[in-house]
Chain A
Amino acid sequence: MRRQSVETLIAGLDAMHPERPFRVMNVCGGHERTITQAGLRSLLDKHIELIPGPGCPVCICPEEDIAQAIHLALNEQVILLSFGDMLRVPVFSHTDGPRSLLAARGQGADVRPVASPLDAVAIARANVTQQVVFFAAGFETTMAPVAAMVAEGVPDNLTVLLSGRLTWPAVAMLLSNDEQAFDALIAPGHVATIMGSDEWAFVAEQHGLPTAIAGFHGESMLAALQCLLQQRSDNRAQLVNCYPEVVKPQGNTQAQQLLREVMAVSAANWRGIGVVEGSGFTLRPEFANANARVRFSELTDQSSFTPLAPPAEARCADVVLGRLYPDQCPLFGNECTPRHPIGPCMVSDEGACRIWMSSGMRSVDESKSTPEGV
């Protein structure tokens, strides 16, 4: 998009300056990254608030799943594979054992970062005498290739420790709990690529909130914001797809078909949020051979796992739920930094705290006067 049109967009936004706060939540870490890196907040009227929501699969991965992964990794026969972001996520538990996959690796566990299911298959083939467990946490976007891998048939020594989540049920839950949490929604672009934009129509239809699907450039986010503001000033609420080049109403039906074939949907726990109905992917019984929780049922038995409470000042849950901005957590940039993360949101590339830190937003007081400040 041309410079000119950016200016027009901003002028358009200015012209619609809202008189009361207009809180726009995003559900995608990628969007929060775009907003922060483009310095979008510094351009907007102070009444337009851009709130990072539960958009990071690493942040919301429940501690018991990570504990299972650590437990499996500590088994000598096992090579544990995980997306890199997950390695440093700390768990707070009563065990004396390592508190992250990285710490487990420090104690001799064979833990390896992978970038895709293809890597997992390759590693399993190269290590036939060992058990390879692929700890797959992610949203629909990540689950689709995992489903494809399982459907195709995995090597005998490869199993999946699945921690997959559907995004829309969490948003639905936020809306039903607390209707006032936000006034408009920017729906996740990548998820919608797979699942289709129609999946997000309920936000407008049932909850009366303007909704837009946006791409991942500053201009695209501006266009989505303008669309949301326009809806509000017209007193309308509908789903608008501002990323039609990539997102189709029905999504990628082939990927959806694979997901349905391989995975069932059930209630699942979200770190910081709690149990959300219909939000978790589990492997169907036909694929039990590829299910780490079946093959290693004793090792993954978590009936006795009780997470310790995180440090009292840590406000991760509020940040994930969009109730607080990252810099409103007293630990942000102080005790909790990307090097020494206390909560998961400081670890993942899609975690709001990490994104804010790496885009130059620091302590609570200072950030009030940063260009990006809220």
Chain B
Amino acid sequence: MTEEYISLAHGNGGRLTRELIDKVFVQYGQHPLLDTVNDAATMSLPNQTICMTTDSFTVQPLEFPGGNVGSLAVHGTVNDLSVSGATPLYLSTSFIIEEGVSMACLIRVVKAMAEAAHKANVSIVTGDTKVVPKGQGGGIYINTAGIGLKKTHTQFDIKRLSAGDHIVISGPIGDHGVAVLLARDEFGLDSQLISDSASVYPFVEAIDTIDGVKFLRDPTRGGIAMAMHEMAQATNLSIRLNEAAIPLSGQVESVCNMLGFDPYYLACEGRVVAVVAPEVSEEVVRRWQACTHGQNAAIIGEVLPCQEQYHCPVSLVTHIGGERLLDELEDDPLPRIC
């Protein structure tokens, strides 16, 4: 069989488009609710509060150890819903494919997407595809939107943060960022590193009945440093992280040393950070450590009253006991990773 590639005609709304939908999206992305005939999906929502979110995924390269743009597009949206205290239910997906992408690659992406959705217990209910001329897109871009059901018992609210709260993380940082970086093959470095891309819903579910859990965040683009910044800025509090406590794999550490990156700015796609009352932080760690991929969960820092003497609200106590600031990302040393 000759290799098949995406052509502009696959996006013209004609026969090839129909074939693409049937042969790829229906066959490999199959889900009973995926309605490929009608222009809108119909589904029923319980009479409750819902959460909705949307995100676009432009990762380069499209495939990396531990996932591809398809699985990432599911995890990203599922995770945004999860950390908002919702149970993710339905996703929509929209593909922008560059002319020339191989059919085999597209199929791998769609398959990974279906698999990720299945694992995360969400249904992809509607989708769209456009093809853009060669040179006008980075292979495959995917947008996903998601709807989730707000849980009645969660009280995640950034306004609840106060000085003394602890910061807890569910696993090592930077695996996704470094895995993608190395997959670009620009550095001539080999590694066994695998992206952490995954649904964080199980982590959320494990702790969402604990009253002292105040706020959750998935530290994606900008890493834990930027996640801390967003929280500090929204609350006018300061946050101090403890370098020695932050879980970091030896591989990520050595790549960072070699390439001069700060791991605190590297993206995770399957980790979650919780801000919790100090009395419950040990309990959160215990429960997370019992989750799959949670064995390295740890308390990594604390919330402080606003430290006015510093120009930046996020600081790091280093391995040797020094202190430095983790300022907002000024520069963009990294390729796109989400």
Residues of A within 8 A of B (CB): 3, 6-7, 10, 33, 36-43, 113, 115-116, 118-119, 216, 218-219, 222, 337-339, 349, 357-363, 366-367, 369-372
Q: Name the distance in Å between B225's Cβ and chain A's nearest Cβ.
A: 9
CA of A338 to CA of B102 in the docked complex: distance in angstroms? 38
**Given A119-B188, A362-B327: A369 and B322 within 8 A (CB)?**
no
Instruction: Give the contacting residue for A6; candidates B187, B321, B331, B332; CB below 8 A.
Output: B321
CB-CB under 8 A from B188, the residues of chain A are 115-116, 118-119
CA of A7 to CA of B321 in the docked complex: distance in angstroms? 8
Instruction: Give the contacting residue for A38; candidates B311, B319, B326; CB below 8 A.
Output: B319
CB-CB under 8 A from A358, the residues of chain B are 262, 327, 330-331
Instruction: Give the contacting residue for A369; candidates B260, B310, B330; CB below 8 A.
Output: B310
A339 B331 Cβ-Cβ under 8 A: yes
B320 A218 Cβ-Cβ under 8 A: yes
CB-CB under 8 A from B262, the residues of chain A are 37, 358-359
CA of A366 to CA of B327 in the docked complex: distance in angstroms? 13
A37 B318 Cβ-Cβ under 8 A: yes
CA of A219 to CA of B326 in the docked complex: distance in angstroms? 21
CA of A369 to CA of B326 in the docked complex: distance in angstroms? 15
**Given A33-B260, A358-B331, A360-B327: A369 and B321 within 8 A (CB)?**
no
CA of A216 to CA of B187 in the docked complex: distance in angstroms? 21
Question: Interface residue tally of chain B, by bracket?
Answer: 20 to 34
Considering only residues 241-286 of chain B, those with a C-beta below 8 Å from chain A are: 244, 257, 260, 262
Considering only residues 286-321 of chain B, those with a C-beta below 8 Å from chain A are: 309-312, 315-321
Q: Name the distance in Å between A123's Cβ and chain B's nearest Cβ.
A: 13
Return 26 A-B CB contacts under 8 Å, by A number: A7-B321, A10-B320, A37-B318, A38-B324, A39-B316, A39-B317, A39-B322, A39-B323, A39-B324, A41-B322, A116-B188, A218-B320, A338-B330, A338-B331, A339-B330, A339-B332, A358-B262, A359-B324, A360-B312, A360-B324, A360-B326, A362-B311, A366-B310, A370-B325, A371-B324, A372-B325
CA of A3 to CA of B260 in the docked complex: distance in angstroms? 24
A349 B324 Cβ-Cβ under 8 A: no
B260 A38 Cβ-Cβ under 8 A: no
CB-CB under 8 A from A362, the residues of chain B are 311-312, 327
Is B3 engaged at the interface, CB distance under 8 Å to the other chain?
A: no
**Chain B residue with the shortest CB-CB distance to A333:** B330
Instruction: Give the contacting residue for B324; candidates A339, A366, A369, A372; CB below 8 A.
Output: A372
Additional A-B contacts beyond A118-B188, A360-B324 (12; CB < 8 A): A38-B322, A39-B316, A39-B322, A218-B320, A338-B331, A339-B330, A358-B330, A359-B324, A361-B325, A362-B327, A369-B310, A372-B322
**Chain B residue with the shortest CB-CB distance to A7:** B321
Q: Name the distance in Å between B187's Cβ and chain A's nearest Cβ.
A: 6
Q: Name the distance in Å between B202's Cβ and chain A's nearest Cβ.
A: 34
Q: Name the distance in Å between A188's Cβ and chain B's nearest Cβ.
A: 16
CA of A338 to CA of B257 in the docked complex: distance in angstroms? 19
Top-9 shortest CB links A-B: A39-B322, A360-B325, A338-B331, A366-B311, A371-B323, A39-B324, A218-B320, A360-B327, A349-B260
Instruction: Give the contacting residue for B311; candidates A116, A337, A370; CB below 8 A.
Output: A370
CA of A371 to CA of B307 in the docked complex: distance in angstroms? 11
CA of A369 to CA of B323 in the docked complex: distance in angstroms? 12
CB-CB under 8 A from A360, the residues of chain B are 312, 315, 324-327
B324 A43 Cβ-Cβ under 8 A: no
CB-CB under 8 A from B321, the residues of chain A are 6-7, 10, 43
